[in-house]
Amino acid sequence: MTIKYKSIKEIKNMISNKEISNKEVIQEVFSLINEFQDLNAFITLNEENSIKKAEELDNNPSDLPLAGIPIAQKDLFCTKGLRTTCGSNILNNFIPPYSATVIENLENAGCISVGKTNMDEFAMGSSNETSFFGNVKNPWGKNLVPGGSSGGAASAVAAGLVPAATGTDTGGSIRQPASLCGITGIKPTYGRVSRWGMIAFASSLDQAGPMARTAEDCAFMLNEMCSHDEKDTTSLDNEIPDFQENLNSSLKGRKIGIVKDLDLSSLNDDVVEIYQNSLKEFESMGAELVDISLPHLSLSVPAYYVVAPAECSSNLSRFDGVKFGMRSEDAKDLEELYVKTRSEGFGDEVKRRILIGSYVLSAGYYDAYYKKAQQVRRLIKNDFENVFKNIDVIMTPTTRGPAFKIGSKGDDPIQMYLEDLFTISANLAGLPAMSLPNGNIENKPIGLQIIGNFLDENTILNFAHMFQNETNWHMYTPEGIIQ
């Protein structure tokens, strides 16, 4: 009996059928993590506590929905008593005195937080190369990036070390690594999941979500992650549905929006072919393709790279060496304390974005950049509102191609920013969106993105689940297809 590559659902069954004890599950997780150390998927492990919790569950079995399920937590969620670094040197020694609402929700549902996953520093990156703790490797190829910023999470799930992980998505940080690692991940509607205890990158865009092997597992986990949280005023108090409710609804007559403004010619031929095959698959299930226009979509990346850095430049001001986190050793006065701490504590990408953000907010530039970007954001939102009057979902490729080589885009931030071309608009509009595996290119997985209407996670999960019923792309692992 092994839990490697098993889904949440499968592990749950194995435990309840007594095929495996809770302790054996957790022990295997840690031996797998150990075996696959070179992936560098984890920054901090929570082994002792996890085993203790598993033993308790063996003594007192629980019928909580996620009882005993090992979950890897992105190292951007504060975990009480467990180091939380956000992939940064500046938080190298930070042990939070409280836990994020997401962590509490999942742990209250019985899950075991086995460790904290590696990530791009402060979630700023698309390749997991900006982590202070070294880049994460893609289990599909040790010279490949796993994507980012939730790279450690994607790598750990793709390698079968854990059935699921938490991620966060500000411009594609769940969907892009899910695509590059061949797993399924969803970014819910902005406000579905509380941001309390999530270390902020860009507050108006950040949203947490699950990363797992299947859409079904994502739905299951999302049920436990979402809550209306009075500690987060941007958290929505709309009713939270059962996300598994519509998984098997028929797709007959349902409408898929195909964005005609999207220029697919710059994409790898294989990506286009895989995308079109998937659309055919949906047509064969009875769905209809409808051409739609999102005229301001091309402005997503520039608008995003104004709004996100602006918010980050302010959000990261608290890391100043005064109250927590690292403090430069040899500062002689206050000015030096700030300058040295922040120079030593932050990596280049974070500094780049703080600089961009400070610039676009500064007097005389605010109107030309920040204000304009917010106006563009409004237009993009309106575009989506219009098209969703007539369609159920929008589909695009998640990424422009499969995983690229570590270091191959290192010196060109613009190329790296374009990685998020297809994913960013959902964050700007606050819409739910997911990525699921829909093909392989030279044994490297690639994903399909499904964007849904505001609060309509259930429809995209439905489309994804039906696709996974009909295809087996989600069954592929670096070691071949699961039988």
Partner 1 sequence: MSWETVIGLEIHVQLSTKSKLFSGGSTEFGAESNTHVDLIDMGLPGVLPVANKEAFYKAIRFGLATGANINQTSSFDRKNYFYPDLPKGYQITQMAQPIVEKGSIKIAVDDYEKEINITRAHLEEDAGKSIHDMFEGETGVDLNRAGTPLLEIVSEPEISSAKEAVAYFKAIRQLVTFLDICDGNMAQGSMRCDVNVSIKKSGDKELGTRAELKNINSFKFIEKAINFEIDRQIRLIENGECVVQETRLYDSEKNETRSMRSKEEANDYRYFPCPDLLPVIISDKELKEIKENLPELPEEKEMRYIQEIGLEESEAKIISSSKAMANMFEEASSKTNDAKLIAKWLVGDVSALLNKDNIEIDESNLSAENFGILIERISDNTISGKIAKSVLEEIWENGSNVDEIIKTKGLIQIQDESLLEEIASKVIDANPDQVATYKSGKDKLFGFFVGQVMKETQGKANPKSVNLILKELLDNLN
Segment contacting partner 1 (CB under 8 A): 30-38, 49-57, 229-237, 411-419? 229-237
Residue 291 DSSP SS3: strand
Q: Angle between the 300-315 and 372-387 helix axes, to the nearest 10 degrees?
A: 120
Q: Minimum CB separation from partner 1 for residue 100, in Å?
A: 6
For 354-371, the DSSP string reads HHHHHHHHSTTTTIIIII
Q: Are 388 and 99 in contact (CB under 8 A)?
A: no
Phi first, then psi: give them for residue 324, nearest 5 degrees.
-155, 175
**Which is closer to partner 1, CB of 324 or CB of 417?**
324
- What's the one-letter identity of residue 73? Q
Question: Under the criterion CB under 8 A, does residue 320 sit at the interface with partner 1?
Answer: yes
Segment contacting partner 1 (CB under 8 A): 177-185, 228-236, 242-250, 391-399? 228-236
Q: Are 16 and 69 in contact (CB under 8 A)?
A: no
- What's the one-letter identity of residue 378? R
Q: Angle between the 457-470 and 215-225 helix axes, to the nearest 10 degrees?
A: 150
**Which is closer to partner 1, CB of 314 or CB of 382?**
314
**Which is closer to partner 1, CB of 146 or CB of 430?**
430
Residue 305 DSSP SS3: helix
Chain centroid, CA 84 distance in Å: 17
Q: Minimum CB separation from partner 1 for residue 213, in Å?
A: 28
Sequence-separated (6 or more) residues with CB below 8 Å from residue 354: 309, 312, 313, 316, 346
Going 181 to 184 to 190 to 193, the CA torsion angle's sign is: negative
Q: Are 85 and 132 in contact (CB under 8 A)?
A: yes
Considering only 52, 231, 260, 280, the residue that binds partner 1 (CB under 8 A) is: 231
Segment contacting partner 1 (CB under 8 A): 226-234, 279-287, 293-301, 412-420? 226-234
Q: Are 59 and 67 in contact (CB under 8 A)?
A: no
Question: Under the criterion CB under 8 A, does residue 363 sit at the interface with partner 1?
Answer: yes
Which residues 364-393 are close enough to bind partner 1 by CB under 8 A? 366, 370
Which residues 78-137 are close enough to bind partner 1 by CB under 8 A? 78, 84, 86, 91, 94, 96-98, 100
Between 279 and 318, how does the x/- string for binding to partner 1 read (CB under 8 A)? -------------------------------xx-xx-xxx
Positions annotated as catalytic residues are: 74, 149, 173
Q: Angle between the 47-59 and 22-35 helix axes, to the nearest 10 degrees?
A: 160
Which residues 328-357 are close enough to bind partner 1 by CB under 8 A? 334, 338
**Which is closer to partner 1, CB of 115 or CB of 197?**
197
Considering only 36, 196, 282, 404, the residue that binds partner 1 (CB under 8 A) is: 196
Q: Minimum CB separation from partner 1 for residue 251, in Å?
A: 36
- What's the one-letter identity of residue 359? Y
Question: Under the criterion CB under 8 A, does residue 237 sit at the interface with partner 1?
Answer: no
Q: Which is nearest to 173 in space by CA: 420, 381, 473?
A: 420
Question: Under the criterion CB under 8 A, does residue 7 sit at the interface with partner 1?
Answer: no
Between 19 and 58, how does the x/- string for binding to partner 1 read (CB under 8 A)? ----------------------------------------
Binding region for partner 1 (CB under 8 A): 77-78, 84, 86, 91, 94, 96-98, 100, 195-200, 202-204, 230-234, 310-311, 313-314, 316-320, 322-324, 334, 338, 358, 361-363, 366, 370
